[in-house]
Amino acid sequence: MSEKPHRGKEQPGHHGEGRKDDKGRDQTPGSQSRASHSALGSLDYRHPDYPHDTHPVLVPGISIDEQRRHYRVDWLVFAIAGSLTVAFVVWGIWSPGSVAAVAETAFYWSTDNLGWMFNVVAIVVLVATLGIALSPYGRIPLGKDGERPEFSTFSWTAMLFAAGLGVAVLFWGPSEPLGYFISPPPLTSEPESVEALHTALAQMYYHWGFHAWAIYALVGGAVAYAAYRRGRSMLMSSIFRALFGRRLTEGFAGKLVDIFAIITTLFGTAAALGIAAMQIGAGVSIVSGAGELTNDTLVVIIAILTVGFVVSAVSGVARGIRYLSNMNIVLTIGMVAIVLFLGPTLFLVNLLPSAIMEYLGSLFDMMGRSLSWGTETQEFQSMWTVYYWAWWISWSPFVGIFLARISRGRTIRQFILGTILIPSSLLFIAYGVMGGTSIWMYREGAPGFTEGMPAPEVLFALIDNLPYVEWLPFVVILVLAIFFVTAADSASVVMGMLTTQGDQTPRLWVVVFWGLVMSGIAIVMLLLGDATALEGLQRLVIVTAVPFALVLIVAIIAWFKELRTDPLALRMHYVDTAMNNAVTEGVDRYGDDFSLKVVESSPGDGAGAGIDSTDESYTEWYQRTNEEGEPVGYDFETGEWADGYDAATGEASEATSEQLAVARERSRVEALKTGADHGRN
């Protein structure tokens, strides 16, 4: 049997009682260090100095709530992101024509020259996230070793479902497949044919399925890993520590990433709020018989809903917002169920499996569409596919950070596969029901359905053709209004976090500021285009997502590089090397009759052969610091800080002279290491 080492005071790298080796030499870490220093100066080849005297393989991980930090408003990030977005709102209100001209030029340049880039980013992110999930790195937890998931699997699944459902089910669910049915994607099928029916749903699944959720999984997984495994702030910039180094990550390079994240989130969320306002306006217009919807009406609606958001934020009714959000999900599911059972039920239960299989069967074909297929395909890609990839990219900081906050303790494999498969599967059903019903009603000549009907009116035409639900339009308007308020509230909190160094409860005025800016951008977006055609919304989402698309590619590289130095990844390497060496030598020396025993090996022949465990890529990240960023000793066994810091009170107690001496010595050593690291950088 193998003699397994136990973590504890007898292990190298941990403080413990004195012990002797087989020649009677003292093996206590402190005495060995003293002996080696006397013999070799400051270098001990066999037992090198590690932060907190802990070998990187034995580090259990560090969570964000174990670190010592004071959150402050990052005035550079706030000033740059705030100035740019406020200036845009002022410019858009003062001269919408000039903004529209610039947006149109930037839109056509981006789609003509960078449409391929959005397709490549979507494909690369999907392949990379699935690759990480299915690799040995998938076993790494988004938390400390042995940490259990914060939420049960059922609650976690419900929250994933909530993240996937929103205004889109009610807006795009009925209208987008109908548009593809009437006017199919180029080079696919004849309009209004049986093939077009299945192609329409497959195309929608392509836009809302695996690729979209892979983008969210990348950001959410990388942020959760950085926060709950590496102890960093919940910022987009925290992902890039292994790639940029600490100095650049906490400097301008990291701030630039957070600025990009704020701007792209603002425009992506503002587009969703604009869509919600458009559909609320259509509902009010239809229910009240007020006539044609105008942009002025939409501005008034957004202003009223923004007041509701500000009231909710100022009053601090966070629990009430959560209840409203949960109620929203229940009502949305209820509406989908009503459509399923009061609509063409038999048609839908036959259509859904066929549409899902059509999506899976044509997935690679849809992924291969680009400008090389002709100008018509290029126009379709610009209007739909590229727009959706840009929208998911712009929503990724918002949704990704939300997913990170609810996924602590899960493995990377559970997180990625769950995030990609669970919401996608549920959306396939919900969108299939809504889209299949609208297509069926159109084919049957149901009242209200016409070939060129505006997208916001499709849902209300669908409801009008269902029996017994004359009251349902009012529920739809209520759901959309609640969605606007809760989405604005949640997105503003995320942008507040990005502005306050990752503070999970950012200052109220910061949250309100970003909510007001978001509503202003939504108004400008609507003023730039026809209220029924979404031009302003789509164009600006694509243009502002371009820089962040590149950020996602770099994020893949940074996350993968960090996973390679994770303690669990190192442990797996040591296990493989040790077992291979032991079995090879055992068979060679003893045939079938041998067992495993842990003994010291010659330098370079042990389990860690080929790994320099003192390299800063393995050790720098778990060095604990105080609020001023100065190194402080820490004992992973007891959870004690060398300066007597108490996590409960947030204060450092009086330490003994011996403790202070140890802390100063450790700080001196770490300062020398840090100085050398900076010199190399």
Q: What is the pLDDT of residues 391-417, one digit of tens each?
A: 899 989 988 998 998 899 999 999 999
Give the per-residue pLDDT at 673.
52
Q: Look at 316 and 307; give whichever has higher pLDDT.
A: 307
Please determine, for residue 170, whether its predicted confidence score (pLDDT) is greater than 80. Answer: yes
Give the per-residue pLDDT at 134.
96
Model pLDDT for residues 336-370, shown as the tens digit of each residue: 999 999 999 999 999 999 999 999 999 999 998 88
Contact 326, 482 (CB under 8 A): no
Region 21-50: what's the mean pLDDT?
Answer: 43
Minimum mean pLDDT range among 131-135, 525-529, 641-645: 525-529
Give the per-residue pLDDT at 25.
39
Region 575-585: what's the mean pLDDT?
Answer: 87
The whole-angstrom separation of Cα 150 and Cα 39 is 50
Contact 93, 519 (CB under 8 A): no
Region 258-273: what's the mean pLDDT?
Answer: 89
What's the token pair of residue 96? Answer: 């919408």
Give the per-residue pLDDT at 21.
42
Give the per-residue pLDDT at 164.
64
Q: Look at 538 and 654; give whichever has higher pLDDT.
A: 538
Q: Provide the 8-state DSSP code for 614.
A: T
First-to-final CA distance of the chain: 47
Return the amino acid letter for 524: V
Q: What percent of the chain has pLDDT over 90?
A: 37
Q: How confident is the model at residue 566 (pLDDT cuts 50, 70, 90)?
A: very high
Please determine, for residue 670, whether its predicted confidence score (pLDDT) is greater than 60. Answer: no
The whole-angstrom separation of Cα 221 and Cα 215 is 10
Return the amino acid letter for 95: S
Give the per-residue pLDDT at 281.
84
The whole-angstrom separation of Cα 8 and Cα 5 is 9
**pTM, rounded to two decimals:** 0.85
Q: How confident is the model at residue 217 (pLDDT cuts 50, 70, 90)?
A: very high
Distance, CA of 245 to chain centre: 21
Minimum mean pLDDT range among 158-167, 255-264, 384-393, 579-588: 158-167
Return the amino acid letter for 573: H
Minimum mean pLDDT range among 163-177, 339-353, 446-460, 651-665: 651-665
Place of tokens 């969605």: 483
The whole-angstrom separation of Cα 191 and Cα 202 is 15
Minimum mean pLDDT range among 387-396, 587-596, 670-679: 670-679
Please determine, for residue 96, whether its predicted confidence score (pLDDT) is greater than 70. Answer: yes
Minimum mean pLDDT range among 131-135, 263-267, 292-296: 292-296
Give the per-residue pLDDT at 199.
95
Region 225-235: what's the mean pLDDT?
Answer: 93
**Pick from 85, 72, 69: which is nearest to 507 by CA?**
72
Give the per-residue pLDDT at 661.
53
Model pLDDT for residues 130-163, shown as the tens digit of each residue: 999 999 999 999 999 989 998 888 888 877 877 7
The whole-angstrom separation of Cα 490 and Cα 54 is 40
Residues 6+ apart with CB under 8 A from 239: 222, 223, 226, 555, 558, 559
Please determine, for residue 518, whether its predicted confidence score (pLDDT) is greater than 70. Answer: yes
Residues 6+ apart with CB under 8 A from 299: 523, 526, 527
Give the per-residue pLDDT at 613.
84
- Neighbouring C-beta atoms of residue 24, cutoff 10 Å: 7
Region 95-119: what's the mean pLDDT?
Answer: 85
Give the per-residue pLDDT at 227.
94
Buried b / exposed e across 119-134, counting CB within 10 Å, b at 16+? bebbbebbebbbebbe
Could you give the domains of the chain? 81-568 (1.20.1740), 623-680 (no CATH)
Q: Look at 60 and 308; give whichever has higher pLDDT.
A: 60
Give the per-residue pLDDT at 36.
34
**Arithmetic mean of pLDDT over the chain:** 82
Give the per-residue pLDDT at 352.
95
Contact 203, 222 (CB under 8 A): no
Give the per-residue pLDDT at 82.
94
- Neighbouring C-beta atoms of residue 213, cutoff 10 Å: 28
- Neighbouring C-beta atoms of residue 93, cutoff 10 Å: 14
- Neighbouring C-beta atoms of residue 181, cutoff 10 Å: 25
- Neighbouring C-beta atoms of residue 453, cutoff 10 Å: 18
Q: What is the per-residue DSSP string for 369-397?
A: -SGGG-HHHHHHIIIIIHHHHHHHHHHHH
Give the per-residue pLDDT at 509.
92
Buried b / exposed e across 396-428, counting CB within 10 Å, b at 16+? bbbbbbbbbbbbbbbbbbbbbbbbbebbbebbb
User: Per mean pLDDT, which of 70-79, 451-460, 481-490 is the most reliable?
Assistant: 70-79
E-state strands within 264-392:
none
Give the per-residue pLDDT at 331.
86
Please determine, for residue 235, whether its predicted confidence score (pLDDT) is greater than 60. Answer: yes
Please determine, for residue 20, whether its predicted confidence score (pLDDT) is greater than 90. Answer: no
Q: Look at 48 and 634; give whichever has higher pLDDT.
A: 634
Give the per-residue pLDDT at 355.
96
Please determine, for residue 6, whether its predicted confidence score (pLDDT) is greater than 50. Answer: no
Please determine, for residue 519, whether its predicted confidence score (pLDDT) is greater than 80. Answer: yes
Give the per-residue pLDDT at 636.
83
**Pick from 260, 287, 239: which is nearest to 456 by CA?**
287
